[in-house]
Structure 1
Amino acid sequence: MRCFELPQNPWRQSVVCLLCWFGVQTIQAEEAWLQRSQAILKALEGQPRPEWLYGQSEQLDVKRHAQQVMEASKTIQTEALSTSGLPTVPLNKPLTQLFVSFSLGESALKGIFEEAAGRDDVLLVFRGPKPSQKLPALMADLKRLLKGIDPLPNIVIDPTRFQRWSVSSVPDIVVEQDGKTSLHVRGVASLSWLDEQLKTGKQGDLGTLGDVGEIAEIDLLEEIKRRMAAIDWKQKQRQAIERFWGQQKFEDLPTAQADRERIVDLTITAPRDLTAPNGQLIIRAGQTVNPLDKMPFGLCLMVFDATEPAQFELIRHQSCQDKQARIMYLATSLPRQEGWDSFKRLETALQAPVYLLTPDVRSRFQLQHVPAVVEQSGNRLLVHERKLPAATGERS
């Protein structure tokens, strides 16, 4: 039965919906934690690396630098140089891409900038920063050369364009139309010369018609690949796991010093009307309801400190009054040094999932000492606190 279906028995549906709400509130945190832990365990078994692993300083620096370079064109043309953005040439019109580098010399670059100024059909392409150069320094160099040029030319920093057109030297001109090369020439940086060739119908690869030089800037994509290959991923995984357990917060509870039983009453008084998504009234404001009057709890909670072998042994051999209840193991703490190895050993020994106790669950079931068992007794929940055997009862 679902809360949004038309009921055959409205009262029974009200109880079912209330119990659904109660169940979500009591075990939602553990289920989320288990899903996260299982995802991490799968990643450690050779699956794609989880996002949290990308927090390593080395890779973070590479990724940040790559993003900065790939965004450099927008930054140059909006905030730094106050131009309107990259050219928007219709698909059926040619786009001239002039590949340049600081190896051409500042005087030659400034001349190219001046000739390309105001040309919406021309894009000047740099591959990236020079070796060991930071992006702000590259942008400062460009701004200095562009000073006094108005309107500004369209400039982009994009190593992918160098790779796409196999550009290995500069200057290099690729005229692109409909996603294909209509004209390609190396060793020429003159846009006026290029315009004359296009007017006469020149097409195809014209070869090298002038002096070419090496590209002074790095290929950022290749640099990223090199740095990624140099990273010891197994070591980074170990470090990430250590950080996870080092930062994990546990709901530590003191060890029970005596056998004790306490009753937890689930009776609630609705502070306001509780309605289903379809608007049907489930519980009226002020109505008192005990969900256990109509439906069993269905769970037997085993709460223990997994860092204490004696608590683990007691819980492992503990039984529940209701043999049909589903046992849920809740650990108040796990060994930080052993981390996931300890977690996996626990699940193997218990042959069941192990969850971490969370603050909301601790409060909802009024847990005070461990080891403890929470199970239904009549229309109440009973919390059994168990004293450890005398020889091993003290916490180390």
Structure 2
Amino acid sequence: MPALALCLFFSGTVHAKTLGVVGKVYPIAERDALEEIEERAGQVDWQSALNEQRPENFRPPNLVPLPRAARERFFLVDMTYTLDFNIPDGQGGILYPRGFRFNPLDYVPFNQTLVVIDGEDPEQVDWLKASPWVGQPDTLILLSGGAFSEIGQKLGRAVFYAVRGLVERFQLKAVPCVIRRQGRMMEVREIEIPVK
């Protein structure tokens, strides 16, 4: 133990020594990284960049604008899906082969109501505010247009966007519409709002 303490004591008194330059030395060719970052940051219009990224300006790139429903209409959508590829079982076999058909409603309880509106149409927003669905916690409100933050504030609840995959899956053609489960199918009901 005293030998270790002695080594530690003497190691503090050892000084580094410059041994000189060995080999050819070249000047640094790269620009100073900090200078380059500062230069690029100075070229950005930060005010417009911040305005573009504001939540109220957000629109998903796959948003599908839908026209206003011209009449009352309802139809059923079969949710059956056909696999277009094999799903392996992880042991060299196939769990579900390509062509396998299944209905997700047979496996997943789906008791939500989906209400889709165009948030840019004030009459549709007013219709939804007066409807029984806006106050039900199991209702999911989706927008085919409009600002989700603004509509969410008006309705006092969270709203989401009806993106292309959802619109195509439920075969939506017009809004407002209400989507609910009917056994092994989904019922889509387009609602006509009288023009004021």
TM-score range, shorter chain: 0.5 to 0.7
- Work out whether residues 148 and 161 of structure 2, in 8 Å CA contact, stay in contact via their aligned partners in 1: no
Of the two structures, which has the highest relative contact order with CA contacts closer than 8 Å and spacing of 6 or more?
2
Match of 1:306 among 119, 127, 133: 119
2:9 aligned partner = none
Cα distance in 2, alignment partners of residues 271 and 235 from structure 1: 45
User: Is structure 2 residue 187 aligned with structure 1 residue 389?
Assistant: no
Aligned residue for 1:263, secondary structure, equals strand
C-alpha displacement of 1:383: 0.3
Partner amino acid, structure 2, of 1:354:
V
Cα distance in 1, alignment partners of residues 96 and 192 from structure 2: 41
TM-score norm. by structure 2 comes to 0.68
Q: Equivalences for 1:330-341 in 2 at 5 Å?
A: 330-334=142-146
Greater share of helix residues, 1 or 2? 1
- Work out whether residues 62 and 163 of structure 2, in 8 Å CA contact, stay in contact via their aligned partners in 1: no
C-alpha displacement of 1:386: 0.6
User: Is structure 2 residue 44 aligned with structure 1 residue 120?
Assistant: no
Partner amino acid, structure 1, of 2:74:
E
Q: Equivalences for 1:1-396 in 2 at 5 Å?
A: 96=21, 120-122=23-25, 154-157=26-29, 221=34, 225=38, 228=41, 233-238=46-51, 250-271=63-84, 273-277=86-90, 282-319=95-132, 326-334=138-146, 342-391=147-196
C-alpha displacement of 1:375: 1.4
Cα distance in 2, alignment partners of residues 305 and 293 from structure 1: 31
Cα distance in 2, alignment partners of residues 295 and 237 from structure 1: 41
Name the CA shift for 1:284/1:95 in 2 (closer, same or farther; >3 Å).
same
- Work out whether residues 79 and 103 of structure 2, in 8 Å CA contact, stay in contact via their aligned partners in 1: yes
Name the CA shift for 1:223/1:343 in 2 (closer, same or farther; >3 Å).
same
Describe the superposition over 1:200-252 as per-residue Cα deviations: whole angstroms up to 9, x where unpaired.
Answer: xxxxxxxxxxxxxxxxxxxx8458548857976335422565xx769956411
The sequence identity of aligned pairs, in percent, is: 25
Partner amino acid, structure 2, of 1:330:
L
- Work out whether residues 69 and 174 of structure 2, in 8 Å CA contact, stay in contact via their aligned partners in 1: yes
- Work out whether residues 95 and 121 of structure 1, in 8 Å CA contact, stay in contact via their aligned partners in 2: no
Name the CA shift for 1:279/1:304 in 2 (closer, same or farther; >3 Å).
farther
C-alpha displacement of 1:254: 1.3
- C-alpha root-mean-square deviation of aligned residues, in Å? 3.8
TM-score norm. by structure 1 comes to 0.37
Name the CA shift for 1:295/1:159 in 2 (closer, same or farther; >3 Å).
closer
Cα distance in 1, alignment partners of residues 52 and 126 from structure 2: 31
Name the CA shift for 1:94/1:345 in 2 (closer, same or farther; >3 Å).
farther
C-alpha displacement of 1:268: 3.0
Structure 1: segments with no counterpart, 5+ residues = 1-91, 97-118, 123-153, 161-219, 335-341, 392-396
- Work out whether residues 299 and 327 of structure 1, in 8 Å CA contact, stay in contact via their aligned partners in 2: yes
